[in-house]
Structure 1
Amino acid sequence: MALHQDLPPLMALRAFEAVARHLSFIKAADELCVSQSAISHQVQKLEQHLGQRLFVRRTRAIDLTEEGGQYYLQIRPALEQIAQATQRFNQPRQNQVLRIGLLASFATLWLAPRLAGFTRRYPQIRVELKPSVQLADVAGAEVDLAIRYGKGGWPHVNAVRLMGERLFPVCSPAFKAAGVEQGPLLMSQAPQPFEWIDWSRHHHLDVQRYPCVMLHDYNIVVEAAIAGQGIAMGRQRLIERRLKEGVLVNAFDQPAYESEIGYWLVKPNAALSPAAECFREWLVEQCNSADT
């Protein structure tokens, strides 16, 4: 049976819900921006459709009949669901703020140069980047999405790998010309220097003899390497522009190491908001194009 055969006139249903909620024809008319007589006409139309009286009309007040009260309780959740569905559908068209937690280095060196493309496609969504060394609390709604660098396996989060990274040590041309035998190695803060560990194991090279300089963030590591302060582990996706400019070069002339380390999208376990889903799709598209 077709759904529309059992549906009442929807304008009449809307008028009935407003009158039942306010128990007032006047207030319902004001809410719906129509005349009181138009509201009364729609309610009568619904009563005729149902073959039931829905209101008891008194001199200065109205009440729901028993049947009217039962009908109101049954139809109101359905109307609320329609309103919520419509709100969610319209949400991407409204101005929204989308908070992204990520490392400052990824924000500066990879995401920011591409972000104008997202803004052009979705001008109604304002992206706020929240740089932090710590993993942002997606589950606690501190941010809407997070992007992390590592091998995954973070507890209590939903992480999906976006793309891998190619690693090789880099330094300034002048530092290489002067000799790289003494180091030092420039490192950003991390629980352990897994980039150097993985790279040295892959190439069977001992880097433990080099002194280390620990810096707060990978942005600082890159700038220190450009300034000739030592050898940084190059993350090719982040330093591509610096390599093309010639301010960084391969320190040991070893081929890049295709690492299991990569970039991950951290999502809440609940369904994404429309804005977050738009960003997720765009981000996956950008990562896929970076691989080609």
Structure 2
Amino acid sequence: MPSTRPLPPLIALRAFEAAARHLSFSLAAQELFVTQSAVSHHIQKLESELGVTLFERRTRAVALTTAGQAYFAKVHAAFELLRSGTEETRAPATARIKLTVGLLASFATRWLAPRLQAFSAAHPGIELQLRPDIALADVPGGEVDLAIRYGRGGWADVRARKLMPERLSVVCSPTLLGGTRRPRKPQDLVRYPLLASHAKLPFEWQAWGTRFGVDLRGAQTVHLHDYNIVVEAALAGQGIAMGRHRLIAPQLASGALVQAVPDAVLDDPRIGWWLVTPRAAKGEIEAVTVFRDWLTQTAAQDPIN
């Protein structure tokens, strides 16, 4: 008949099995994430309960006694059976789906990155790979699964869906507005360096100038590689930038950047951030749909200021 005597505590058996396998109390402690003294304590209690000595304690090592070797063979086999049974029962790990997104570095760092933790927490099975570049990613050619573009739409061979509009106003460091030459009206901006980022089809300054009746052809324009650099140059007082409010909201809120001409704000519904996918795709992959829906919901919760 099976014995009715209780088994030793599982924690003591684990300590013994690990120590016997490594022939080291310290290595067993590292494996089990406990202290060496805790392993020694559990084994002493196990020896006391069994009434036998399992280890020979030496100066810098331990060795199994004859009883310890016999007991280890059975305990180790039991733990191996538990391990293999657990692995067979455990649901297989789901491979993460990679989703490649093309976008501007400025949008990635100033708008998307602070919000990505929420997406990763909600969708751990999707691994986002961001490809920031000032050049347009080849969406039809499959270079990326999805792109986020800035502009007025109208790109060839793709589907473009407005994610959110952008608000534009001319901004600068407060230090640039000191003295008697402070701009009072849009036309006064021609006295300052105008900061512009690289674009295949630049439109911001032209659209703003047309809206407020300013001829900017005689203004000094400083062309910079990326919009992140434009923002840093404006913060350093090097000129007037076209402020994309979605991207510079923290700087406007803190006063690090101010509107040079507060009444000259451009809200053009055509200008904004767009979600771009291949036009010829037979069916949108699920990860694209999930990320697109999350972006749309997140953008809707971000009122423009």
> TM-score, structure 1 length as denominator?
0.65
Size of the alignment, in residue pairs?
Answer: 201
C-alpha distance after superposition, 1:79-127 (max 9, x if no partner): xxxxxxxxxxxxxx54111110001111111111111110110012111
* Identical residues among aligned pairs (%): 50
Deviations 1:10-38 (A, max 9, x none): xxxxxxxxxxxxxxxxxxxxxxxxxxxxx
1:199 and 1:211 map into 2 onto residues whose CA distance is 16
CA-to-aligned-CA distance 1:215-235 (integer Å, 9 cap, x gap): 000010001000100000001
- Which residue does 2:55 correspond to in 1? none
Aligned equivalent of 1:53: none
Specify the code of the residue in structure 1 equivalent to 2:96. N
Give the Cα separation in 1 of the matches to 2:258 and 2:96: 44
Q: Does 191-200 or 207-216 show the bigger shift?
A: 191-200
Runs of 4+ more than 3 Å apart: 178-181
Shift of 1:191: 3.3
Give per-residue Cα distances to partners, 1:233-253, cap 9 Å, x unaligned. Answer: 001111001101111000122
TM-superposed deviation, 1:196:
0.9
Partner of 1:130: 131
Take 1:183 and 1:254, find their aligned partners in 2: how far apart are those partners? 18
| SS of 1:244 mapped into structure 2 | helix
Q: Aligned AA for 1:184?
A: P
Partner residue, 1:282 = 294
How many Å separate the matches in 2 of 1:214 and 1:175?
19
Question: What's 1:102 paired with?
Answer: 103
Amino acid at match of 1:266: V
Query: Residues of 2 paired with 1:135 and 1:207: CA distance?
Result: 27
For residue 226 of structure 1, what is the aligned residue in structure 2?
235
Residues 212 and 264 in structure 2, CA contact (< 8 A), matched pair in contact too: no
Amino acid at match of 1:239: I
Q: Distance in 2 between matches of 1:139 and 1:257?
A: 32
Aligned to 1:152: 153
Partners of 2:105 and 2:133 within 8 A in 1: yes
CA-based RMSD: 1.7
Could you tell me how far 1:273 is from its partner in structure 2? 1.5
Q: TM-score, normalised by structure 2?
A: 0.63
Q: CA deviation at 1:207?
A: 2.5
Bigger shift: residues 147-156 or 179-188: 179-188
1:140 to partner: Cα distance: 1.8
SS of the residue corresponding to residue 272 of structure 1 reads coil
User: What SS is found at the alignment partner of 1:290?
Assistant: coil
- Are 1:265 and 2:275 counterparts? yes
More helix by share: 1
Find 2:248's aligned residue among 224, 234, 239: 239
Q: Which structure's CA Rg is the greater one?
A: 2
> Aligned residue for 2:200?
191
